[in-house]
């Protein structure tokens, strides 16, 4: 047996210290978000097989790790590995792919390679009051995509200016790109989408060909006293068929009241390109002319990492040559982030 000596112990400490200086430990994190939901159609319910009635709903629960490794004073390697976790649907895989990439960062900004939220998705800012839930803006507006085989460039931050560019490699990504488009997305924003460092945010985004969509949107947010207001306007069309188009918008409001955060949101789309519209179109013999949604609800803070929430969402799809489709969605849930 090797006898431990003071010299050997000191050497071991030096090796450990050297390793620690060269390789920073990653940050491990998670987001567990489960709700009890009742829905008439199941169109917007997540983490199930489109079940109607009262169900347990998984709202983008995930675990992951991320970090950075210094290469020299001007350059570092950055990475992220994240998977979705589903515990509410016996017919679905327990794990699913989410943002997973590796790249480099420095004074030039950041460039990463892999699966990532598109720049167009990022152009929503902080408008969505019910993100990752069954009242997420994706139910009304298309383009909230996460795509693999992509290159993402993030601008270096200059004052309050932010920007992002996404390019998807067409030859390596059947179904996520379009032969008729250039398969990129971008956004520019100015201000603070969290409305903490500044009481305003404005931004714009454009996508061409990713998931067969060509669209642009404008985003604005403002904070008046404690009231946070937000709005998005978006014009969309199918890349391969410009006659298939829609215009839509979202307006939202948030107001803190003690441990409560009161929230409200309204959405409208004059077509069937959002999630609710597409599912309604597939479930009727008529033609979806427009979709409206309003949602009211709130969060109740339990701790820095946990809160309870609840909301009521109403969806209405006007159908030409068939009966209209409506859905009343009631949700109560618990979220914990670490």
Beta bridge partners of 298: 262, 310
Q: Give the burial class of 316: count Cβ atoms within 10 A of its Cβ; 0-12 exposed, 13-18 middle, 19 or more buried.
A: middle
Residue 23: how many other CB atoms lie within 10 Å: 11
Tokens of 233: 């306007």
Kindly state the tokens that stand for 301.
Answer: 């803070």
What pLDDT, on a 0 to 100 scale, did the predictor assign at position 23? Answer: 60
CA angle 12, 14, 18 (to 5 degrees): 120
Write out the chain's pLDDT in tens, 338 residues.
444 444 444 444 444 444 444 568 999 999 999 999 999 999 999 888 788 999 999 999 999 999 999 999 899 999 999 999 988 777 778 899 999 999 999 999 999 999 999 999 999 999 999 999 999 999 999 999 999 999 999 999 899 999 999 999 987 777 788 888 999 999 999 999 999 999 999 999 999 999 999 999 999 999 999 999 999 999 999 999 999 999 999 999 999 999 999 999 999 999 999 999 999 999 999 999 999 999 999 999 999 999 999 999 999 999 999 999 999 999 999 999 99
Residue 48: the pLDDT is 81
Phi/psi for 260 (5° steps) reads -95, 150
Distance of alpha carbon 207 from alpha carbon 155, whole angstroms: 17
Residue 256's nearest CA partner among 200, 195, 197, 305 is 195
Class of domain 66-298+315-323: mainly beta
Instruction: Round to whole Å and give the CA distance between 76 and 184.
Output: 26
CA 62 vs. chain centroid, Å, equals 12
CA–CA gap between residue 61 and residue 116 (Å, rounded):
16
pTM here? Answer: 0.90
Alpha-carbon 17 to chain mean position: 38
Question: Closest Cα to residue 124, out of 251, 264, 266, 273?
Answer: 251
Q: Whose structure tokens read 């589903």?
A: 86
Nearest to 125 by CA among 187, 193, 200: 193
Query: Over the range 169-179, which residues count as b (16 or more CB within 10 Å of their CB) and which as e?
Result: ebeeeeebbbe
Confidence (pLDDT) at 9:
43
**Rounded to a whole number, what is the distance in angstroms from the first to the last CA of the chain?**
43
Distance CA 231, CA 227 (A): 14
**Greatest C-alpha distance within the chain:** 87
| Nearest one of 77, 79, 83, 86 to 64, comparing CA atoms | 83
The pair phi, psi for residue 201, each rounded to 5°, is -155, 135
DSSP-derived 3-state class of residue 192: coil
User: How many CB atoms lie under 10 A from the CB of residue 19?
Assistant: 9
Residue 96 in tokens: 């699913």
Question: Is residue 311 within a helix (H) or strand (E), and if so which, with residue range?
Answer: strand 306-320
Phi, psi dihedral angles at 130 (to 5 degrees): -130, 40
Q: Which string of DSSP letters, residue by residue, matches 123-155?
A: TTTT--TTTTSTT-GGGTSS---EEEEEEEEEP
Block residue for tokens 């009241």: 257
């Amino acid at each position: 047996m090797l006898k431990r000596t003071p010299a050997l112990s000191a050497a071991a400490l030096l090796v450990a210290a050297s390793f620690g200086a060269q390789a920073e430990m990653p940050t491990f994190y998670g987001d567990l978000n489960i709700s009890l939901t009742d829905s008439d159609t199941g169109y917007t319910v997540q983490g199930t097989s489109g079940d109607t009635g009262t169900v347990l709903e998984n709202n983008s629960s995930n675990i992951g790790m991320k970090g950075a490794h210094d290469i020299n004073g001007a350059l570092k390697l950055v990475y992220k590995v994240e998977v979705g976790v589903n515990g509410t649907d016996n017919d679905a895989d327990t794990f699913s792919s989410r943002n997973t990439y590796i790249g480099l960062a420095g004074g030039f900004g950041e460039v990463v390679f892999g699966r990532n939220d598109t720049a167009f998705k990022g152009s929503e800012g902080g408008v969505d009051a019910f993100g990752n839930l069954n009242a997420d803006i994706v139910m009304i507006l298309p383009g909230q995509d996460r795509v693999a085989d992509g290159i993402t460039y993030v601008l270096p931050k200059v004052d309050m200016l932010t920007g992002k560019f996404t390019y998807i490699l067409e030859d390596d990504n059947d179904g996520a790109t379009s032969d008729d488009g250039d398969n990129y997305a971008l956004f520019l924003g100015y201000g603070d989408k969290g409305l903490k460092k500044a009481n305003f945010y404005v931004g714009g985004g454009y996508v061409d060909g990713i998931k067969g969509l060509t669209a642009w949107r404008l985003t604005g947010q403002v904070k008046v006293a404690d009231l946070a207001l937000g709005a998005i306007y978006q014009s969309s069309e199918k890349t391969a068929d410009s006659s298939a188009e829609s215009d839509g918008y979202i307006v939202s409001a948030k107001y803190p009241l003690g441990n409560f955060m009161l929230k409200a949101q309204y959405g409208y789309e004059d077509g069937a390109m959002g999630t609710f519209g597409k599912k309604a179109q597939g479930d009727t013999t008529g033609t979806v002319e427009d979709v409206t949604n309003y949602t009211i609800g709130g969060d109740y803070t339990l701790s820095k990492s946990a809160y309870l929430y609840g909301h009521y969402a109403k969806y209405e799809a006007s159908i030409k040559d068939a009966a209209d489709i409506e859905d009343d969605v009631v949700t109560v849930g618990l979220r914990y982030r670490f």
